[in-house]
């Protein structure tokens, strides 16, 4: 197999190095869906309104999907949306009757 001058992981295009005619319309480079920013544990905890320790424990117990980059743990917004959707409770229309005039037990 012929070898190129650069390894494939080095061949990357930066929007800064592109000419204005090569930029997507609107002048701003668009972020593809796969390259949305990844959230840290602290950012995910803030987004979920829970302590960071709870998020770290959920990762250890495999209760939440995450992406591991070396020793670092990152989350996509979709991962957190799945966690929230899994915890949603269905609404029931059955009303629990309130019992009144209950007598106390005589122990």
Instruction: Note whether residue 92 is domain-resident.
Output: no
For residue 77, which of 31, 44, 42 has the smallest C-alpha distance?
Answer: 44
Residue 6 lies in a domain: no
Please report whether residue 20 resides in a domain.
no
Global confidence as pTM: 0.52
Number of domains in the chain: 1
Within-domain flag for 80: yes
Lookup result for tokens 């480079």: 29
Q: What Rg, from alpha-carbon coordinates, does the chain have? A: 25
Q: Does residue 59 contact residue 73 with C-beta atoms inside 8 Å?
A: yes
For residue 51, what are the domain limits? Answer: 40-86
Could you tell me if residue 81 is inside a domain? yes
The pLDDT tens digits for 14-70 are 445 555 555 556 555 655 655 678 999 999 999 999 999 999 999 999 988 999 999
Any domain includes 9: no
At 71, is the pLDDT very low, low, confident or very high (cuts 50, 70, 90)?
Answer: very high
Domain assignment of residue 49, yes or no: yes
């Amino acid at each position: 197999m012929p070898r190129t001058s650069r390894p494939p992981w080095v061949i990357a295009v930066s929007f800064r190095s592109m000419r204005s005619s090569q930029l997507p319309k609107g002048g701003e480079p668009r972020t593809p869906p796969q390259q949305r920013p990844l959230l840290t544990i602290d950012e995910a905890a803030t987004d979920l309104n829970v302590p960071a320790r709870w998020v770290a424990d959920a990762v250890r117990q495999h209760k939440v999907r995450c992406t591991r980059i070396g020793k670092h743990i990152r989350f996509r917004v979709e991962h957190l949306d799945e966690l929230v959707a899994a915890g949603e409770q269905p609404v029931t229309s059955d009303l629990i009757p309130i019992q009144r005039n209950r007598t106390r037990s005589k122990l």
